[in-house]
Chains A and B, each alone.
Chain A
Amino acid sequence: MCGLCGALGAGDHWSSGGGTVALGTPAAERYRQADVVNGVLRLYGLRLKVWNDRYMLHGRTGKSVVVGHMGQLWPLAEGLAGVAIDPLDTGLISTMEAGR
């Protein structure tokens, strides 16, 4: 538990890999994850930054929310962006392909 905010279990989500798929330290992995995710979030005017053992998601208007893990990220990102962020959306797929 984070002593500052009292949030539980940020590192316990499957997306953190359970400590078995990391290339570096947990902190380094969070930076890697944020870099990758920002490649998608920037399309929606959002940015994810590492904040201690979790993340902070920033919107266009300056609004920010704490994000524990990838499972929490997408509903919050959709809330800030005001649109669905769908990996099966053909427009988003085309954009990702263009950046390949």
Chain B
Amino acid sequence: MRSSADGPIVVNVLNGFLGAGKTTLLNGLLQQPDLSDVAVIINEFGSVGIDHLLVETIDDDTVLLQSGCICCTIRGDLKQAILSLFEKRQAGQIAPFRRLVIETTGLADPAPIVATLTADLMLKYHFTMGNIIAVVDVPNGRHNLETYAESARQVAVADRIVITKGDLAEAEAMRDLRALLSAMNPTARIEICNPGQSVSGLVLTEDIHDIGARSGDVRRWISAERYHDHAHGPLPDVNLHGAIRSITVTAAPPLSWPRFSMWLSMLVNRHGDRLLRIKGILDIEGQSTPVVIHGVQHLIHKPVHLAEWPKGLTGSVIVFITDGEIGDLDRSFAAFMKQEPQPGAAADPVVAALAN
């Protein structure tokens, strides 16, 4: 989002294992002129210092929401750090930042951070979630993904994945890591951060709130999912990355919004802790333009419209990235939408359109 002067402040979450290069990446981003109005919250200091004026640090202090789900833990420390920055901003004690980047610890699950921002009554009206970025380094990335569930979850929920330290490994390792990341999260755009260079600030700013970028982004992740489905089949080895799965459900006829919101709210209630990421483009009854939904675990963002249908796309497509096998999403979706289950991919209107 190109933040307007009085709109909500966009929050980006920057994940990545210790040593992956989060702070180096952030330093590079903060030096870009377009990102001069960014505040930063860091909950641990690594070996690389950050050169920025608007930095707050936080300590560990978490509060569990009534739902009791660990992914919906409200982080009291984080809330206080954000409110502290916001109050200083409102009082004119610091520059009126328009974006906030939260750099997490290496072992952080991003879901509680998203929960803090979207569920807290004080924060939700002043802040809005932007891209979640996962930083993965080539030398250690695969090992971390195979060893630590947190690392796999960071990748699974990301909107953008940045691969770093490609110069410290063979080109083949880079290719393998990229293929693995793409298999784990086909909806995320993958960027390469070359040594001594920075990635484009678009990793922060080009998000679902960016009306100009929204359509291309949707088309890209649908295409990526389709390519993944049909070129590579199922994930290469589910055991390699904690059984992270991606599942796509489709529908050709327009959907009833009350039916869809009923089904998704039921699904999120029962399985939200294992629904790592949800992204969908929907053809809703009575709407001339497509509706985009996205969510992380129990947290679903309000639907937004695209200005028009991306060329060649028709029908509804929803991608779920799940932590393990959760059941027959396709059959459930069809049953609750009162539609016949969609036939195989060859008859899928989206696939057919993309193939042309």
Contact = CB atoms under 8 A, between A and B. Distances in A.
A84 to B, nearest CB: 7
A34 to B, nearest CB: 9
Contact of B291 (A8, A21, A93): A21
Contacts of B267: 87-88
Given A85-B270, A87-B270, A93-B332, A33 B262 contact: yes
B291 A20 contact: yes
Interface string B154-173: 00000000000000000000
Contacts of B264: 15
A14 B258 CA distance: 12
B303 A88 contact: no
Contacts of B258: 29, 32-33, 35-37
Contacts, number: 101
A20 B305 contact: yes
Given A29-B258, A74-B265, A14 B301 contact: yes
A15 B291 CA distance: 13
A70 interface: yes
B121 A23 contact: no
A99 B285 CA distance: 21
Contacts of B300: 14-15
Interface stretch (B216-224, B309-317, B323-331): B323-331
**Chain B interface bracket (under 10, 10 to 19, 20 to 34, 35 or more):** 35 or more
A69 to B, nearest CB: 8
A36 B329 CA distance: 19
A96 B173 CA distance: 48
B266 A74 contact: yes
A71 interface: yes
A93 B335 contact: yes
A40 interface: yes
B232 interface: no
B93 interface: no
A99 B327 CA distance: 21
A53 interface: no
